[in-house]
Amino acid sequence: MSFLGTLFRPIFEVMAGLIAFYYGIVHSYAFAIALLTVTVMVVVSPLTYMSTKSMLEMQKIQPMIKALQQKYKGDRQGLMEAQQALFKEHKVSPAAGCLPMVLQLPILYVMYDVIRGLTNTVGVHHLASPKYIGHTTLLYKSLIASDGAMHSLGLNLALKATASHGSVAAAIPYFLLILVAVGLQYLQMSQITNKNPAAAQANRQAYLINKFSPLIFGVIYINIPSGVNIYFIVASLFRIAQQEVMYRFDPAMKAHAARARLLHQEKKARDAEEKISGVKDDFVPKIKDAQPKGNQSPAKGRPSTPNARSNRDAAQRKSRPQQGQQSSRKATPGSPQPIIGRNNRGRKEKG
Please give the full DSSP string across 170-198, using - where no structure is assigned. Answer: HHHHHHHHHHHHHHHHHHHHHHHHHH-HH
What residue type is 40 in one-letter code?
Answer: V
pLDDT per residue as tens digits for the range 173-204: 999 999 999 999 888 878 777 766 665 555 56
Tens digit of pLDDT for each residue in 218-241?
A: 899 999 999 999 999 999 999 899
- Total domains in the fold of the chain: 1
Predicted pLDDT at 351? 42
Positive or negative, the Cα torsion across 163, 167, 173, 176? positive
d(Cα 270, Cα 280) in Å, to the nearest integer? Answer: 15
Q: What is the pLDDT of residue 98?
A: 65
- C-alpha span between 108 and 114 (Å, rounded): 10
Distances (CA, A) of 175 to 164, 220, 232: 13, 12, 14
Q: Is 338's pLDDT higher than 70?
A: no
Identify which of 84, 22, 90 has the alpha carbon closest to the alpha carbon of residue 231: 22
Compute φ and ψ for 335, nearest 5 degrees.
-75, 140
Evaluate if residue 145 carries a pLDDT over 80.
Answer: yes
| pLDDT the model gives residue 216 | 87
Amino acid at 165: H
Q: Looking at the domain assignment, is residue 45 inside a domain? A: yes
In the prediction, which pLDDT does 315 show? 60
Q: Is residue 299 part of a domain?
A: no
Whole-angstrom distance, CA of residue 127 vs CA of residue 148:
8
**Would you say residue 302 lies in a domain?**
no
Q: Is residue 247 situated within a structural domain?
A: yes
**Phi then psi for 8, rounded to 5 degrees?**
-95, 5
| Average pLDDT of the residues in 262-272 | 74
Among residues of the chain, what percentage have pLDDT more than 70?
71
Q: Are strands 127-128 and 121-122 parallel, antiparallel or unpaired?
A: antiparallel
Which residue in 54, 64, 22 sits closest to 227, CA to CA? 22
Across 293-307, average pLDDT: 50
The mean per-residue pLDDT over the stretch 104-113 comes to: 88
Q: Model's pTM, two decimal places? A: 0.68
343 pLDDT higher than 70? no
Question: Which range marks the domain in which residue 207 is found?
Answer: 9-266
| pLDDT top residue among 83 and 301 | 83
Q: pLDDT tens, 49-81?
A: 877 777 777 777 777 888 888 888 888 888 888
Within-domain flag for 273: no
* Other Cβ atoms closer than 10 A to 122: 10
> In this structure, how many other beta carbons lie within 10 angstroms of the beta carbon of residue 78?
13
SS3 content of the chain, % helix, strand, coil (to 5): 75, 0, 20
Q: Which long-range contacts (CB under 8 A, 24 or more apart) does 61-69 make?
A: 61/86, 61/87, 61/90, 61/92, 62/198, 62/202
Torsion, CA 34, CA 39, CA 44, CA 45, rounded to 10 = 90
Give residue 12's pLDDT: 93
Name which of 11, 36, 14, 10 is nearest 23 in CA terms. Answer: 36
Q: Report the pLDDT averaged over residues 135-153.
A: 94
Contact 189, 214 (CB under 8 A): yes
pLDDT at 268 over 80: no
Listed in sequence order, the residues at least 6 apart from 173 whose beta carbon sits closer than 8 Å to its beta carbon are 154, 155
What integer pLDDT is reported at residue 115 of this predicted model? 94
Query: Within a 13 Å sphere around the CA of 98, how many CA atoms are in the beta-carbon half?
Result: 17
Q: Is the Cβ–Cβ distance between 229 and 221 less than 8 Å?
A: yes
- Please give the mean pLDDT across all residues of the chain: 78
> Can you tell me the distance from the alpha carbon of 314 to that of 166, in angstroms, rounded to the nearest whole number?
91
* Within-domain flag for 38: yes
User: How far is Cα 164 from Cα 308, in angstroms, rounded to an integer?
Assistant: 84
Question: Residue-wise over 169-179: b if at least 16 C-beta within 10 A, else e?
Answer: eebeebeebbe
226, 162 Cβ separation under 8 angstroms: no
Question: What pLDDT is recorded for position 74?
Answer: 82
Residue 274 within any structural domain of the chain: no
Averaged pLDDT for residues 145-155: 92
The full length of the chain comes to 351
Is residue 300 a part of any domain in this protein? no
Please give the pLDDT value at position 291: 55
